[in-house]
Amino acid sequence: MNLRGSDIPFNPFFHAYLFVGLNRAILFVQPQKLIPEVTGYLNTIGVEFRDYTTLWSFLSSKEWGNGRVVIAPQTSFAISSMLTTILAPCYAAYMMCIKNQTEIDCMTRAYLRDGVSFVRFLTWLEGKLSQEHDVTEYMAARTLMEYQRKNKNFIGLACKNISASGQNTASPRQSTESSISRDQPYLK
C-alpha cells in the first residue's frame, strides 16, 4: 500500500495489521495515525480500516468464513494460535524486494547524496584532527548527522550513526563520550 510511519526508530514502519482476503483488505491501525490524505487513499484502493485493538475480535469471529488462512512464518504466535493456518512465504515481502527502475534510480540518488555527506564529514574531521582539536565520538556522530540532514529529501537516518575510537565499539552517548584517538582506528 506504500504507507510509511515512524513507530520504529530508523525504519519507515508503523504498528498495524493487514488482512488481505479474496474480496477485501482491512488495515488494523490506531485511528490517530490516519490523516485525511491516507484515509482518502485507502478508500480509493478499496482498503477498509479499523481500530488496531479490534484485530482480536476480528480473528476470533472469523469474519472471512471457515476456510484456512495463509500466514507467513514470521506471524506472531498469538495470532497463529487463533487460526487454522497454512504457513507460506509472505508474497507481499517478496514483492517489496523487487524494485522497479524508478525505485532503483531514487535509491542510487539517495546513496550518492549520502556519500557526499560522508565525504564532507571526513573532510571536516580530518581538518579538526590535523589542527589538534579534540573531537569526541558523540560530536563526530552529530556532525555527520547534520551533514546528512542538509540533503535533499532527508527524512531521517536509516540507522544510528556509529562513531567509535580505539576500544569503543558502540554508538556514542554524550554522557560517556570520549575523544577520537589519533593513533588508534576510528570506526564510522
Structural domain range at position 138: 101-187
My answer on whether 155 and 171 are in the same domain is: yes
Q: What are phi and psi of 24, to 5 degrees?
A: -160, 160
Residue 10 lies in a domain: no
- Contact indicator for 16, 29 with CB cutoff of 8 Å: yes
The overall average pLDDT reported for the chain is 87
Residue 174 lies in a domain: yes
CATH number of the domain encompassing residue 52? 3.40.350.10
What tens digit of pLDDT does each residue of 62-103 get? 888 877 788 888 888 888 888 877 777 777 778 878 999 999
What tens digit of pLDDT does each residue of 114-140 get? 999 999 999 999 999 999 999 998 899
Coil, helix or strand at residue 114: helix
Burial class (CB in 10 A: 0-12, 13-18, 19+), 115: exposed
My answer on whether 57 and 90 are in the same domain is: yes
My answer on whether 107 and 90 are in the same domain is: no
With vertex at residue 102, the alpha carbon angle to CA 97 and CA 104, rounded to the nearest 5 degrees, is 50
- Contact indicator for 3, 14 with CB cutoff of 8 Å: yes
My answer on whether 62 and 131 are in the same domain is: no
Cell numbers representing residue 124 in the block: 571536516
Residue 33 lies in a domain: yes
Percent of the chain's residues with pLDDT above 70: 95
Domain count, the chain: 2
Q: What is the pLDDT of residue 170?
A: 64
Look up cell 540518488; give the residue: 109
Q: pTM value?
A: 0.67
